[in-house]
Structures are given as structure tokens and as C-alpha cells.
Structure 1
Amino acid sequence: MVNVEDISFGYLLSDVTLLFRKHFDRRAVKFGLTRAQWRATKMLYRRPGLRQTELAEFLEMEPIAVGRVIDRLQAAGFVERRPDPKDRRAWRLYTTEQAHEVVDDMERIAKDLRIDASTGISCEEMMQMTAVLTRIKENLQALDEAEQPMTEAGN
């Protein structure tokens, strides 16, 4: 009898993620955006007015790297920096109308890819897979939370 802990799924998850990214990048290449630029644009589209440090947290990137991404997006006309009314040293980030058009196109690309990737899979199967992956994610996040006090105590 096979036990849950004997089923190796980490590499499969990684392979699926890499393949999904590869196919998305191929379809989205016409927009000239890197994956990091696309992720930043999408996040700002959904959460306008973020500060660079907040965006870095959401994207799980270093603030300096996000700054370079924003510089390129601003130069390309996708993002604008506006002064923060509460902090003269800070900037708030907003997507432009040009970005809104691209976000809509990118969302269509993502939806079409999901359709292609889920061929032969029922909605019920997809919902079950999503529920299981969500539980795995929650279990791993709980490990992070359990380890955090030990890490902080060691400093």
C-alpha cells in the first residue's frame, strides 16, 4: 500500500510551472514584457497606488530589483510614479491606459493557456486539484510560521 508521503509530487509541480511559464512567455512575447514586468504590471493594475516596497513584498522580490522593473515599465509607458501625499520621499505606482489594454490581452492569453492546459480535465477534477494544492500551500506556510520564532530567537 502506498502512503501519501511516498508520492513524490514536487518535481511534477515544478515541471508544470516551468511549462506553463514557457508557453505563456511564447504567447506573450509580442508585448515585449518580461515575466517580472508583466507580474508587476498586473499587480499594480489590481492594486493601484502601491509603494515600491509594498510591490516588492507582493512580488517576493528585492526592492532594488523592483525599482529596475518599474524604471523600464515607466520608460515604456506602462507605469507612472506619483508623489505620495503622506510622504514626500515616497512614490505611489499606477498603471497607465496603455497598460490596461495590455493587461486585458495578457489575461486572454492566460485564459487560453488554461483552456489548452486543462484539455480532458473536468471542472470537478480541476476544483479538487485546486483544493488539494491550496491545502499543501497552507501546510507549507504553517511550517514557515512555526519556524519563524526559532529563527528570530537565534538572532
Structure 2
Amino acid sequence: MSEQKQQDLEPGFIFQRVARQRLRLTDKRLAPHNLTSAQVFLLNWLLHRDGMTQKELAQRLSIGTVAVSGMVDRLEVAGLVRRGQDPNDRRAKKVWLKDSVRTNRELLSGLAKEINDVSFKGMSATEIKTLLGLMDKVHRNLVEALDADDPSKWVNEQPIRR
């Protein structure tokens, strides 16, 4: 097997390429609606639990609070969300969906289904279930490692040589 083929099968490259291509296709399908995949991820969190703080959204999206603030600014200008003070914490800002997002929920669901249909083309229901189960296990392993990160347990502790 060529070095390029072998590299193409490395897990890190596969995960990165799959995630990148799904995001590119999602952004392409969302462009006519003037939305990005990152904005839709935020809207989906609010569809599941409206009125989250910007800090909670940042944690769920694994991005910084400054990035969430900018995203909420753009969604607010677009008339999709509104933000206001948290009555329990005057420093915190909460974000709520506007009715326009709820009325377009089917559009967002349809776009997600389309991306999944393209992603899983040619796979049986059993293969998809197995793949998603394994990916969930990988995700849980990574979360566990992050939560209990102990540098002494890493195989290679050598610094990168400059």
C-alpha cells in the first residue's frame, strides 16, 4: 500500500475529512438561507432548550464565549433570536428563539436529513447503526480522556523538537 493510501486510512485524517466535508456540504445547502452550519448548531441547541445562556451555548458548541456572542449578534440582526438578561445572574445573557425559527424547524430538519442521506448513501440501516454506535463510543472515550487527562498516562511525553 502506498504511503499516501496508508495516510488516508489514519483515523485522525478520516475523522477530519468526514467532519470537514459534512460542514462544507451543510454550509453549501444553508447558503441560500443566509445561515452557516455553526449558526444552525446553535439554533438546534436552542430548539432543544430555549433560553440558554451564552456561556452554556459556548460549552455545548465547544467554542469560546466571544465567538458565541458574535454568532448571536448576527442571528439577532437576522431576526432569528433575541437576547436578554438572566434574572438570576445580571452578568449572564440568555438567548431565546424567535417564532420564525420554530416555524422553519421542518426546513432545518429536512436539511439535516439530506446531509445524513448523502453521508450514508449505500449503507444499510444495520451498517449505519453500527457506525453511529462506534462513533459514539469514540466520542465518549475522548470525553472521558479529556475529563481525566493525566499527562503521566500519555505514551509519548517527549516535547516536539524545534
Give the structure-1-normalised TM-score: 0.82
Kindly report which structure 2 residues correspond to 1:30-45, keeping only aligned pairs within 5 A, or say none: 30-45=32-47
Give 1:70 deviation, angstroms: 0.7
Quick check: 1:140 aligned with 2:142? yes
Question: How far apart, CA to CA, are the structure 1 residues paired with 2:77 and 2:94?
Answer: 16
- What RMSD, in angstroms, separates the aligned Cα atoms of the two structures? 1.9
Of 97, 109, 112, 1:107 maps to 109
Gaps in structure 2 of 5+ consecutive residues: 1-8, 153-162
Indicate the residue corresponding to 1:59 in structure 2: 61
| Percent identical residues | 28
Query: In 1, are the aligned partners of 2:51 and 2:94 still within 8 Å (CA)?
Result: yes
Q: Which runs of 4+ in 1 moved over 6 A?
A: none
| Aligned-partner residue type, residue 22 of structure 1 | R
Which structure has more helix as a fraction of its residues?
Answer: 1
Kindly report which structure 2 residues correspond to 1:1-155, keeping only aligned pairs within 5 A, or say none: 8-147=10-149
Residues 125-134 or 136-145, more deviating: 136-145
Question: How far apart, CA to CA, are the structure 2 residues paired with 1:129 and 1:30?
Answer: 31
Structure with bigger RCO (C-alpha 8 Å, 6+ apart): 1
Give the structure-2-normalised TM-score: 0.79
Q: Deviations over 1:78-137 (max 9, x none)?
A: 001133222334332100011223332121011022112212211111111111112222
Question: How far apart, CA to CA, are the structure 2 residues paired with 1:57 and 1:12?
Answer: 25
